[in-house]
Amino acid sequence: MASDPVTTTTGPLAEARVREALRRHAGAAVADGPVQGLGGHASLRTYWRARGASPSLMVMVMPPGAKPEEATQGGPPAEEPFVNVQRYLARIGVRVPRILAFFPPEGALAGVPGVVMILEDLGDDMLETRLLAGDDREKLYEAAVDQLARLRAAAEARPDPACVAFGRRFDQGLYRWELDHFREWLLEAWKGASLAPDERAFVDAEFDRLSARLAAEPLGFTHRDYQSRNLMVLPGGEQAVLDFQDALLGPRQYDLVALLRDSYVELPADLVERMLRRWLERFHEAGGPRLEYGPFRELFDLLTVQRKLKDAGRFVFIDRVKKNPGFLVSIPASLRYVRDAFGRLPELAELRGVLGRHVPELLG
């Protein structure tokens, strides 16, 4: 049976590996049937849909030697992080795609190295696409926030040292590295600016102070990129979580920043406040401690400054280094989020002023 052409640039070797994995898992009829290559956003991973299976299957291919998509600490993990974290999340009741087959790099299929997984196909309805289709925004975000609150409460109650996420953390060095990513790629590479020596000394001291403040917060399981393109909306409204392999320990507010300060979907201020208050209630109902809104919101804003400065730099990095300009369009939203957070953080007014000389979008 002739197959459909693969609509991606991953090449015939990757397709051969995909088809061999499908043959071993589901038989020749599926392996020789239609296979469609899908985009992988900024990731090194590529995805393929096998339409000859019923229901269809998703195949994820990871190149050999692939490092985490985001900076982290420590050496290579003993187990593939996607497999490791998926198992933990499923155990604490989070809806994640089922792993139907896993082919590690050793014993390479079709002579092609790398990792191949066959996953449950969760469809194409991301939270982002359902918003664009006109679904009820409030209900979509209520479901996302409720699941995130349950996830965090369950993870705090049931930490597992066997899960790779519990062996790495947002520490002062990682926060600082990400802030330097902004300086190197957004300010210097994108804006073509250079801090004067006195400005550099001041910014370095402020970045150190912000990083130390954030690193002192209570830590727990953090997805790291819990946002509209990593939440799949299933029939009936349930949401499944993707792209969790870079999880680590971080503050409670971090995933809320990823969701409510999403570079791909901008939300009105009143909705953001309602969702923050909703998370606090749901987190307490799920067994977490009761937290006060004021201090919680302040830390949310501080994390917004750190995370969205990093994102703005990251999007330039992806363009210049990975040759993918598709995320440059999200830089303005990232800088608007930082500007908004600066406006509620008077202690960062001087930092805002110095950065704003070179990145005027931060001044408004």
Q: What are the sequence ranges of the domains in the chain?
A: 12-120, 127-362
pLDDT-based confidence at residue 260 (cuts at 50, 70, 90): very high
228 neighbors 132 (Cβ within 8 angstroms): no
- Predicted pLDDT at 39: 65
What is the three-class DSSP state of 248? Answer: strand
With a cut of 80, say whether residue 11 has pLDDT above it. Answer: no
2 pLDDT tier (thresholds 50, 70, 90): very low
For residue 12, is pLDDT > 70? no
With a cut of 60, say whether residue 1 has pLDDT above it.
no
12-120: CATH topology: Phosphorylase Kinase; domain 1 (3.30.200)
Asked if pLDDT for residue 105 goes beyond 80, the answer is no
- Output the average pLDDT for the chain: 91
Q: Regarding predicted confidence, which is higher, 174 or 115?
A: 174
Give me the percent of the chain exceeding a pLDDT of 70: 89
239 neighbors 151 (Cβ within 8 angstroms): no
**295, burial (CB in 10 Å: exposed 0-12, middle 13-18, buried 19+):** exposed
Residue 75, pLDDT score: 58
In the prediction, which pLDDT does 276 show?
A: 98
The reported pLDDT for the residue numbered 8 is 36
Task: Kindly give, in sequence order, each residue whose CB lies less than 8 Å from that of residue 162, ignoring residues fewer than 6 positions away.
Answer: 84, 88
pLDDT number for residue 3:
32
Select from 263, 223, 228 the least CA-distant residue to 140: 228
CATH topology of domain 127-362: Aminoglycoside 3'-phosphotransferase; Chain: A, domain 2 (3.90.1200)
Q: What is the mean pLDDT of residues 27-41?
A: 85
